């Protein structure tokens, strides 16, 4: 890579987005939440009346997706939809559209364009395997299904939304299965990715681990 890239892949609700954003801030790097692109596409398709299984139509929408990331806000056609794309339904839609080869192809170069100086931290499910296979540091960040469900439950309750813990856990298990079994860019740990299990870790401990890995990369002079 011409600039250093840190990829943090992992399953839903593992905390990879929070960790990646903090790491990017600490290093002064750019940050790409790749999942937001698929969530934006799912939301955009819903608004345009396009079904989440209509691959040709979704790929066309992806090619001209009016998305932007400004000061931590996620914009769709100039409007802040940061909260709206985090709805559980949109997350399910994102998982479905992300399984479509034509959609992933349409968004591939768009994601790679974020890899500019001084560096990039990106999270997703195929950042280290497909989008940035030559990344300086690859992390596979995970946690137990119980812990991830508990985190999501607390997050929803904290926002004043209703939540059912057993259902959340089942949704997470189902999504893990879909993401791991899809034919294109399945969720998996790459051989050169460092496994970071955050079940028993705080956010700060997870962030420090990633920063240490990057420090080791810098020290190696690669």
Q: Which residues are annotated as a binding site for ATP?
A: 10-18
Residues making up the binding site: 10-18
Burial string for 174-200 (b: 16+ CB within 10 Å, else e) reads ebbebbeebeebebebbeebbebebee
Round to whole Å and give the CA distance between 218 and 137.
Answer: 10
Contact 46, 97 (CB under 8 A): no
CB count, 10 Å around CB of 52? Answer: 19
Tell me which residue has tokens 């790749």: 34
């Amino acid at each position: 890579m011409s600039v250093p890239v840190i990829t943090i892949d992992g399953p839903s609700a593992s905390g990879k987005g929070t960790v990646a954003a903090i790491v990017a801030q600490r290093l002064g790097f750019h940050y790409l939440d790749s999942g937001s692109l698929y969530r934006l596409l799912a939301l955009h398709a819903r608004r345009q009346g396009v079904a989440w299984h209509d691959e040709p139509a979704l790929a066309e929408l992806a090619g001209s997706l009016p998305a932007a990331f400004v000061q931590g806000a996620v914009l769709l056609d100039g409007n802040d939809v940061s909260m709206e794309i985090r709805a559980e339904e949109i997350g399910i839609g994102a998982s479905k559209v992300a399984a479509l080869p034509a959609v992933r192809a349409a968004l591939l170069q768009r994601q790679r364009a974020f890899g500019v100086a001084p560096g990039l931290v990106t999270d997703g499910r195929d950042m280290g395997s497909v989008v940035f296979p030559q990344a300086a540091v690859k992390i596979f960040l995970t946690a137990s299904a119980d812990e991830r469900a508990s985190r999501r439950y607390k997050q929803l309750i904290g926002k004043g939304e209703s939540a059912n813990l057993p259902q959340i856990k089942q949704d997470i298990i189902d999504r893990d299965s879909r993401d791991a079994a899809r034919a294109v860019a399945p969720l998996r740990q790459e051989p050169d990715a460092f496994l970071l299990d955050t079940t028993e870790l705080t956010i700060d401990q997870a962030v420090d681990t990633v920063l240490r890995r990057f420090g080791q990369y810098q020290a190696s002079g690669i």
